[in-house]
Amino acid sequence: MKLRIVEQARPNTFGFETSALIKPTGFREYDARWWFGRPGAEKEPELNLIGVQALGMGLATLIRRMGIGPEIVTGHDFREYSLAIKLALVSGLMAAGAKVKDIGLALSPMAYFAQFALDTPSVAMVTASHNENGWTGVKMGAQRPLTFGPDEMSALKKIVLDGDFDLVGGGSYEFVPDFRDTYLDDLVAGKRISRKLRVVAACGNGTAGAFAPQALERIGCEVIPLDVELDHSFPRYNPNPEDMQMLHAIRDKVLETGADVGLGFDGDGDRCGVVDNEGNEIFADKVGVMLARDISQQYPGSSFVVDVKSTGLFKTDPQLQANGAVTDYWKTGHSYIKRRVAELGAIAGFEKSGHFFFNPPIGRGYDDGLVTAIAVCGMLDRNPSKSMADLYRELPVTYGTPTMSPHCDDELKYGVVERVLADFEAMKAAGERFAGQAIAELVTVNGVRVVAEDGTWGLIRASSNKPELVVVVESPVSAERRREMFEALDAVLRRSPEVGPYNQTF
């Protein structure tokens, strides 16, 4: 079968119905994301169902050429078009010889779990994760518990755009019934807590609404549901626990009900956000420090991996130092951190976005928002005399920002970051002051993290899955120093007219 692959095609035309529409920028650093479209949207689609079929052909071809068996797990999130996209993907996979095991409506971590439970090497989970309605994508992997990185994504992109498929036939399809129950049973096995916790479970009307309340109830929590009804229009807010709108909604519910903790889950359930009993919206990197304290108390000398957006406390916290904990800062992105955790044999990895990765004995190495939620409840259970707010107050004070994302087109964002990095390298070489102080360090593992003499830092990097840049700032000194660093960073960004407005600030 020879598909005609195009980068542009308007809906309701002959070309749209007869060609594989695939915008090349949808092949991102470690997964795939495209604007599929929604009614009333002005933006033209970047993908159609024939394009999804081509993606399936390419994925099965790549896996075959990697020397990996033909078995692959598929699932889909709760968006009105996700089932259709998955079935188009399955048809392409089968055409290239894949033996598909379909677990139906699923969370991404449920699909990762299926790789182990069904003894299946590969996975293709149809989800746009936390992206707004109208987006779609696929998270893929062929070496459990890892997902694809840049090398695999580049190879997949070339196969698909070149139409270089091995259409060997012999594919098959099997629907796996009741796999949700299998996943939940495994999730809660041996995890019963003795402390009576009242927990707000917020799901933003996304897929996690069919999983999170049940899992938390089964470990012994009293669950206060918030937006758990599945509704693919996301009527209140986008299910993204890094978004302040969702965190504010959780805060309000916690304060209204007197809950012990609020837990929020993103659209495909691989991330978890936390609000304490006093309504403090705890950014996920600080939650990571709290969990790292708890884990390193149980397992002294633990090593951790965190992304470059995360707080400096992982290096400076006195309790982590006393427990002999060691932390490695690495590239942002669930695939990068997951791979780094595996490479270093770290017990856990934490991202500021809320992707947390737990190796044995806590987890299987992949990111699962429900495993994170259970770990938070377990931490509270091991500290029966302390509230979540008490544990938060025990951390050294720093002044951080949420993740802030100014718009920048996919075709332009990496060039902007390269120019910004060059500017900072020139400033440091010349001994120039930035945000009122000398530049002490430039961390360039992923974009650029500018560190001042007093430990105040600011990060600029390109988003891996949306047409945006990412900006984060933290100061161990004061809110004023945080503001100075942000304004100085923003001034550098505004030298590039390609950079648009922020999605949120502080």
**What does the pLDDT look like over 54-104, one tens digit per residue?**
999 999 999 999 999 999 999 999 999 999 999 999 999 999 999 999 999
State the pLDDT at residue 17.
Answer: 92
Q: Where are the beta strands (DSSP E) in 301-456?
A: 303-307, 326-330, 348-350, 356-358, 399-400, 433-434, 437-443, 448-452
- For 69, phi then psi, to 5°, come to -55, 165
Token digits of residue 96: 């290239």
Whether the CB-CB separation of 147 and 334 falls below 8 Å is answered with yes
Determine the 3-state secondary structure of 149 from DSSP. coil
Residue 216 has pLDDT above 60, yes or no: yes
Q: Hunting for tokens 């020139």 — which residue is that? A: 426
Token digits of residue 123: 């996975």
Q: Is the omega angle on the peptide bond into residue 145 within 30 degrees of 0, that is, cis?
A: yes
Mean pLDDT over 370-379 rounds to 98
Q: Torsion over CA of 48, 53, 55 and 60, rounded to 10 degrees?
A: 170
Q: What confidence tens digit (pLDDT) does each residue in 351-366 have?
A: 998 999 999 999 999 9
Mean pLDDT over 170-183 rounds to 97
Q: How far apart are CA 133 and CA 41, in angstroms?
A: 10
Q: What confidence tens digit (pLDDT) does each residue in 431-443 have?
A: 999 999 999 999 9
Mean pLDDT over 454-481 rounds to 94
Residue 30 has pLDDT above 70, yes or no: yes
Mean pLDDT over 145-169 rounds to 96
Mean pLDDT over 214-229 rounds to 98
Q: Between 2 and 321, where is the model more confident? A: 321
Q: Which of 140, 114, 127, 107 is nearest to 34 (CA)?
A: 127
Q: Between 43 and 224, where is the model more confident? A: 224
Q: How far apart are CA 420 and CA 498, in angstroms?
A: 13
pTM of the model: 0.90
Token digits of residue 336: 């990068």
Q: Torsion over CA of 409, 451, 291 and 394, rounded to 10 degrees?
A: -130
Residue 167 has pLDDT above 70, yes or no: yes
Which contacts (CB < 8 Å, 24+ apart) does range 138-143 have?
138/31, 138/32, 138/55, 138/59, 138/89, 139/31, 139/108, 139/111, 139/268, 140/31, 140/32, 140/59, 141/112, 141/115, 142/62, 142/63, 142/66, 142/68, 143/68
Token digits of residue 103: 């677990």
Q: Between 242 and 384, where is the model more confident? A: 384
Radius of gyration of the chain from its Cα atoms, rounded to whole angstroms: 22
Residue 170 has pLDDT above 80, yes or no: yes
Q: How far apart are CA 420 and CA 410, in angstroms?
A: 16
pLDDT band, residue 373 (cuts 50/70/90): very high
State the pLDDT at residue 250.
Answer: 98
Residue 1 has pLDDT above 60, yes or no: no
Mean pLDDT over 401-428 rounds to 95
Residue 48 has pLDDT above 70, yes or no: yes
Token digits of residue 427: 């400033």
State the pLDDT at residue 41.
Answer: 79
| Mean of all residue pLDDT scores within the chain | 95
pLDDT band, residue 464 (cuts 50/70/90): confident
Residue 393 has pLDDT above 60, yes or no: yes
Residue 322 has pLDDT above 80, yes or no: yes
State the pLDDT at residue 200.
Answer: 98
Residue 420 has pLDDT above 90, yes or no: yes
Share of the chain above pLDDT 90, in %: 91
Residue 2 has pLDDT above 90, yes or no: no
State the pLDDT at residue 465.
Answer: 77
Token digits of residue 359: 């190796």
State the pLDDT at residue 6.
Answer: 87
Q: Which of 268, 337, 280, 273 is nearest to 308 (CA)?
A: 337
Mean pLDDT over 19-24 rounds to 96
